[in-house]
Amino acid sequence: MDILQYIPQRPPMVMIDTLTGATDKSADTALTINADNIFVQAGKFSPSGLLENMAQTAAAHAGFLALQKNEPVKVGFIGAVKDLQINRLPPAGARVQTRIEVQNTVFNATSVLARVMLQAEVLASCELKIFINP
């Protein structure tokens, strides 16, 4: 399935390329980091790119839930980033996997734990508070 059906972002700002799984409480995505990606600097995917990747995984989860209810995918935004940890920047050419797990949802605000992996290594993690426009 086309990832663009789940998220409001459009190229060149798309930082996920596959929704590999989703449930009511989690989503998994993957991204092959192309050398010409706007967040690649000196051959590495930047911290901003990792954060955007995690946020777009949360957006894909919200889009998945909306489509399950036959509703349109809505625009959202990051309201807060907590405990951001960047362990290593992945190189261009790498394929990273990202997982978000919903911690709680109150009205249009959802708190998720997110992590980006390269094989078995955790590259980045944080807690995100995402607000979806009603």
pLDDT single digits (tens) 66-109: 999 999 999 999 999 999 999 999 999 999 999 999 999 999 99
Q: H or E stretch including 48?
A: helix 47-68
pLDDT at 134 over 90: no
CATH number at residue 85: 3.10.129.10
* Identity at 76, one-letter amino acid code: G
**Domains contained in the chain, number:** 1
Domain ranges, residue 25: 3-132
Please give the sequence-ordered ranges of beta strands (E in DSSP) within the chain, or none if there are none. Answer: 18-22, 26-32, 40-41, 44-45, 76-86, 95-106, 109-118, 121-132
99-131 pLDDT, tens digit per residue, is 999 999 999 999 999 999 999 999 999 999 999
pTM recorded for the entire structure: 0.96
Residue 43, SS3 per DSSP? coil
